[in-house]
């Protein structure tokens, strides 16, 4: 990998704490906006939509990987960490995008994928061409098989199904060593005890920081340090959660924190320091270790992506994560949707016990999706999230109230999960369908060519151009909520108001209250000026104002 000359872009606001209360909008670049008509979204497409994002009122854009990739895992298989996939543009396009975002007052966060490279990465190609025991293989995890070579070196499973080991074969057909891939075979794991690997990622952090990016989202942060001492120990089954003592051989090992302490030193070379947020699927009480100010500074809290629309669950998640964030010195993070989970408008429109995978496998026909309920609850949950202290991560399309596209034909599915589970799980394509921007252009304004995943006809109802003209649309709700959040969001605490177990009610500063009624029955609406509500609030003639079911209201209480 070679560094190219960076064109530093000015970082507009030297505010080291900008991230603590930021709303960060996740762009999945290949599905956001296609400027050159090849069916794939691109960097210039993001630039063209910066005014939309600024008007929406978010503070930062996080771009999922846009690096050269053979797309074995939607770009999370990176062939070169310091370049732009030619199908998505050039480094000059990237600089233009950063300049446009900064010009509009938006920060830019990029994804960094350190657990594994693509099998097309120059290092892996070199490893394949080198002998067992060579320095080229030592950057990855190559091992001899057991039982004379034919059995994988351990029982470790891939997160996408099947074994985490793939055996190599020489050109003449002779089988040889196995290599580790915790995800797809096209994503070989790096060995983070190798100093060359460690130094190279620090160079990548500097490369993008020099180009003006404000922060990093760190993929599989909990997976880098592994216990590779032989005999390799069995990993803990994921269904039972990870141990909290760092004893799993693959995930959440204590040594991983040394890596992020080194990264913090690099991030702090910049003014303002670059931020980072860890993707770490670990036990709740260990998430905050990644978020310490001496490490990445922030970590995702994914608990709301797994919660039912239930007041007790929401309340417990909010309380415990605020406490943990306070302990680590970070601010909390909130996520309802992202590129890995079924969109929340769909989750909330299915019967509570439904497993989203079963719904996807039925092509979205069974159980039947209750769209009205799903959207009503999604709007209520989104407003609740946006009232919380900490950073809110908004996934592209949730501001339109998009549902999951559950009926993508099998032969058009791209997610390796579909292939690796031998069609046992549909995977994540349904939340990655290109966005609908308008109803009068091909591909709903996404681009001029057929998009890389098919868009359903019902996207027409949720296109940006349609929702912009509708004061009651979800887009209008997000715009108003984000504008208010900008005015009101300060401090990092809240005060609970306990008046009804079906209601989650808390007060922030200056009399700002957020009240969510999780039941289907109306509840009493506390007195105050209604600033915004996720659904219609009516005051019966001569009666007290009511908080309708499955609705959030923001109030100013004097
Ligand atoms: C987490 C990413 O969010 C997901 O999309 C990806 O498949 C895995 N990490 C592997 O990189």
More confident of the two residues 9 and 66 = 66
Atom 3 of ligand 1, nearest CA residue: 340
* pLDDT tens-digit readout, 401-442: 999 999 999 999 999 999 999 999 999 999 999 999 999 999
Query: For a substitution probing ligand 1, which of 27, 183, 282, 300 has the most ligand atoms within 8 Å of its CB?
Result: 183
Question: In ligand 1, which atom is closest to the CA atom of 428?
Answer: 5
Atom 5 of ligand 1, nearest CA residue: 340
Q: Which two tokens stand for residue 376?
A: 């009503």
* pLDDT tens-digit readout, 161-181: 999 999 999 999 999 999 999
Q: How far is the CA of 30 from the centre of ligand 1 (A)?
A: 15
Question: In ligand 1, which atom is closest to the CA atom of 279?
Answer: 1
Q: How far is the CA of 300 from the centre of ligand 1 (A)?
A: 13
Q: Which of 33-47, 67-81, 226-240 has the lowest mean pLDDT?
A: 226-240
Q: How far is the CA of 273 from the centre of ligand 1 (A)?
A: 26
Q: How far is the CA of 329 from the centre of ligand 1 (A)?
A: 26
Query: For a substitution probing ligand 1, which of 65, 219, 250, 396 has the most ligand atoms within 8 Å of its CB?
Result: 219
More confident of the two residues 143 and 6 = 143
Give the separation between CA 258 and CA 491, rounded to whole angstroms: 31
The pLDDT confidence band at residue 239, using thresholds 50, 70 and 90, is low
| Residues identified as active-site | 219, 269
Query: Which pTM does this prediction carry?
Result: 0.96
* CA quadruple 150, 423, 119, 38: dihedral, nearest 10: 160
**Nearest in space to 192 (alpha carbons), one of 237, 235, 141, 236:** 141
3-state helix, strand, coil in the chain (%, to 5): 35, 15, 50
Which protein residues are within 6 Å of ligand 1, measured from CB?
Answer: 73, 76, 113, 183, 219-220, 279, 339-340
What is the percent of the chain where pLDDT is above 70? 97
* pLDDT tens-digit readout, 367-389: 999 999 999 999 999 999 999 99
Half-sphere exposure (Cβ direction) of 513: Cα atoms closer than 13 Å: 21
Q: How far is the CA of 64 from the centre of ligand 1 (A)?
A: 10
Place of tokens 């058009």: 412
Q: Compute the mean pLDDT over every residue in the chain, rounded to the nearest whole number.
A: 95
Question: In ligand 1, which atom is closest to the CA atom of 340?
Answer: 5
Does residue 236 surpass a pLDDT of 50?
Answer: yes
Give the separation between CA 542 and CA 106, rounded to whole angstroms: 47
């Amino acid at each position: 990998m070679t560094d190219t000359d960076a064109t530093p872009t000015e970082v507009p606001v030297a505010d080291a704490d900008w991230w603590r209360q930021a709303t960060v909008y996740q762009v999945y670049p290949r599905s956001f906006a296609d400027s050159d008509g090849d069916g794939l979204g691109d960097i210039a497409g993001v630039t063209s939509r910066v005014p939309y994002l600024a008007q929406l009122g978010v503070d930062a854009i996080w771009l999922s990987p846009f690096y050269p990739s053979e797309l074995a895992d939607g770009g999370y298989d990176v062939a070169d960490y310091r370049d732009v996939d030619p199908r998505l543009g050039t480094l000059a396009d990237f600089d233009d995008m950063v300049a446009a975002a900064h010009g509009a007052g938006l920060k830019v966060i990029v994804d960094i994928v350190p657990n594994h490279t693509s099998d097309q990465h120059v290092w892996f190609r070199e490893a394949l061409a080198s002998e067992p025991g060579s320095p080229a293989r030592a950057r990855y995890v190559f091992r001899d098989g057991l039982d004379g070579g034919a059995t994988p070196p351990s029982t470790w499973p891939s997160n996408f199904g099947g074994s985490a080991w793939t055996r190599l074969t020489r050109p003449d057909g002779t089988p040889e060593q196995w290599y580790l891939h915790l995800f797809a075979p096209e994503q070989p794991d790096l060995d983070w005890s190798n100093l060359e690997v460690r130094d190279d990622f620090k160079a990548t952090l500097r490369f993008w920081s020099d180009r003006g990016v404000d922060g990093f989202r760190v993929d599989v942060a909990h997976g880098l340090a592994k216990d590779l001492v032989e005999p390799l120990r069995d990993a803990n089954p994921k269904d039972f959660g990870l141990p909290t003592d760092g004893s799993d051989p693959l995930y959440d090992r204590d040594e991983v924190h040394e890596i992020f302490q080194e990264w913090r030193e690099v991030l702090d070379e910049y003014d303002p320091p670059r931020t980072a947020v860890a993707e770490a699927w670990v036990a709740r009480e260990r998430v905050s270790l990644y978020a310490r100010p001496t490490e990445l500074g922030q970590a995702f809290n994914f608990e709301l992506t797994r919660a039912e629309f239930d007041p007790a669950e929401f309340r417990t998640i909010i309380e415990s994560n605020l406490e943990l964030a306070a302990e680590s010195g970070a601010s909390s993070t909130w996520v309802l949707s992202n590129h890995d989970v079924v969109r929340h408008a769909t989750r909330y429109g299915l019967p509570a016990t439904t497993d989203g995978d079963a719904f996807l496998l039925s092509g979205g026909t069974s159980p039947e999706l209750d769209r009205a309920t799903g959207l009503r609850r999604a709007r209520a949950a989104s407003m609740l999230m946006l009232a919380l202290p900490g950073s809110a991560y908004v996934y592209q399309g949730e501001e339109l109230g998009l549902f999951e596209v559950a009926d993508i034909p099998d032969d058009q599915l791209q997610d390796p999960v579909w292939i690796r589970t031998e069609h046992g799980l549909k995977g994540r394509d349904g939340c990655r369908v290109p966005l609908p921007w308008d109803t009068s252009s091909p591909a709903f304004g996404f681009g001029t060519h057929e998009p890389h995943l098919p868009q359903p006809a019902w996207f027409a109802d949720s296109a940006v151009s349609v929702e912009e003209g509708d004061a009651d649309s979800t887009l209008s709700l997000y715009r108003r909520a984000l504008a208010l959040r900008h005015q009101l969001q300060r401090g990092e605490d809240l005060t609970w108001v306990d008046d009804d177990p079906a209601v989650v009610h808390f007060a922030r500063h200056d009399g700002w209250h957020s009240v969510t009624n999780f039941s289907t029955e109306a509840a009493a609406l506390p007195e105050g000026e209604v600033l915004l509500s996720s659904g219609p609030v009516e005051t019966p003639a001569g009666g007290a104002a009511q908080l309708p079911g499955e609705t959030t209201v923001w109030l100013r209480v004097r």
